[in-house]
Structure 1
């Protein structure tokens, strides 16, 4: 009897869609690299990537999850949330409710979940502190939610927000927001290690070394002058007015010595969000 193929479905946004790891005329990415090392000899891996660049948690919940459930995955990655932090409509409670619904639906059918906490976009882009801090606060809250849900559903969780990963520019593509090939390989390899430790990965781990040369400074400048301009314009239309208000609040509280109030407000919103799905998490997790 021929063993059934292992089914791996990837849900999420541009990170999982593979942006930054170009192969031929399209994107490959960490999920495709991981899929190649999941199955052992004599067993295939059936991989479907449902991730879409720009996807929000709402998109994953309403569009990608029903399709994923119909595929009956053995393993499903759910990595999303950064785009939510870049929207003026950001609401940590709404995000928590949607992610909990997604994880619950997949876990209920026995699917093994892959999750990750991620660095905030402000630090990646090197924004001035008054602009970067509100985004960092939002991403820390998202990461805390992902930590709590990962524990609830027994997910294979990858810590991808650590300083060494963020600081190593060779891991990142020219746009400074998405991993380059080396970064995607690192994510795939680390997930493979975590899955192998649980006896869930039986193939060869993805290699560390990239096939393509690392992006040059000129390539980064070219991206900023071409595609980057459009990216900034799209985000500015939606987020910038609110972000400027948030930055103004940061400056005012800093001048008054009351910046801790903003942190407490974010922690209260996080606690309320987790309470909405009957979860609790130490506030220290806001720093992860």
Structure 2
């Protein structure tokens, strides 16, 4: 079973019939789960609270042995990002799944600015957000006592071949890498993996240069504009703090060095008129 956002839906791994495959079916096949025993509750744009409020009821009712929980990145891209609320909501998702006998596997995220090649201020703003998100994930995972996959430590995470044309979602190879990481974590947790995930791409639709250009014009630029506006206030704060630090360092460097005797004389001098005593 899968809950979460567009990565959980399978975006980036298109099939010839126009549907998405992605990490969920790959993990299900590796675990030997029949298609009629697999459920994907995820939808595009989902934030962690969406998983708790909208996806969890069906997930609980399904009572799967395993649930992949892929959510949180959309939260970092919004102006109302609240890591404490994310930690609370994610813990609610994990704890509720555990309560019905499901083993959920959560995800810690990578520095996606390195993949998307954002402008420096936006990249730093997003990196700060992802650091806060990962702290929230750690808190929820620790409290629920469930396994977790760390994307930042996953080999291939920062290779462009692991990402689709939009650089927002994994490519077929990226989904396979993620599926393999999930199954390895589940094997460690005691689950049998009779058919390990292959990294050889097969069954997916191929994309062309025209597809790449079309996505950039119709989806990529509008997305960057929308999300950039949400991150801009935080990025502006980073720029202002950085400029302030540079100014202080510049003033400090321009001050003439004080001799030891000058310091001693000043330390022993009487306070000036009006100075605090």
Superposition TM-score, scaled by structure 1 size: 0.77
| Bigger strand fraction | 1
Separation in structure 2 between the aligned mates of residue 26 and residue 44 of structure 1, nearest angstrom? 15
Separation in structure 1 between the aligned mates of residue 35 and residue 211 of structure 2, nearest angstrom? 38
Contact 1:170-1:214 at 8 Å conserved across structures: no
Separation in structure 1 between the aligned mates of residue 205 and residue 98 of structure 2, nearest angstrom? 39
Separation in structure 2 between the aligned mates of residue 18 and residue 169 of structure 1, nearest angstrom? 17
Unaligned runs of 5+ in 1: 1-8, 259-288
1:198 aligns with 2:189: yes
Q: What does 1:74-89 correspond to in 2, within 5 Å?
A: 74-89=65-80
Give the counterpart of 2:220 among 228, 232, 236. Answer: 228
Secondary structure of 1:226's counterpart equals helix
Superposition TM-score, scaled by structure 2 size: 0.80
Contact 1:85-1:139 at 8 Å conserved across structures: yes
Structure 1 residues 231, 70: closer, same or farther in 2, change over 3 A? same
Contact 1:13-1:55 at 8 Å conserved across structures: yes
Structure 1 residues 170-202: Cα deviation after superposition (integer angstroms, max 9, x where no partner): 111000010000010111112112212333133
Separation in structure 2 between the aligned mates of residue 221 and residue 143 of structure 1, nearest angstrom? 33
**Matched residue, 1:257:** 245
Unaligned runs of 5+ in 2: 247-277
**Matched residue, 1:70:** 61
Secondary structure of 1:167's counterpart equals coil
1:18 aligns with 2:10: yes
Secondary structure of 1:27's counterpart equals coil
Post-superposition offset of 1:215: 5.3
Separation in structure 2 between the aligned mates of residue 161 and residue 143 of structure 1, nearest angstrom? 10
Structure 1 window deviating more from structure 2 (79-88 vs 103-112): it is 103-112
Contact 1:123-1:136 at 8 Å conserved across structures: no
Q: What does 1:19-98 correspond to in 2, within 5 Å?
A: 19-23=11-15, 24-39=17-32, 46-98=37-89
Larger gyration radius, structure 1 or structure 2: 2
Separation in structure 2 between the aligned mates of residue 217 and residue 252 of structure 1, nearest angstrom? 40
**Matched residue, 2:116:** 125
Structure 1 residues 23-56: Cα deviation after superposition (integer angstroms, max 9, x where no partner): 121100011100011138xx88711001101101
**Matched residue, 1:248:** 236
Separation in structure 1 between the aligned mates of residue 209 and residue 180 of structure 2, nearest angstrom? 27
Q: How many residues are paired up?
A: 244
**Matched residue, 1:146:** 137
CA RMSD of aligned residues (A): 2.3
Separation in structure 2 between the aligned mates of residue 200 and residue 170 of structure 1, nearest angstrom? 29
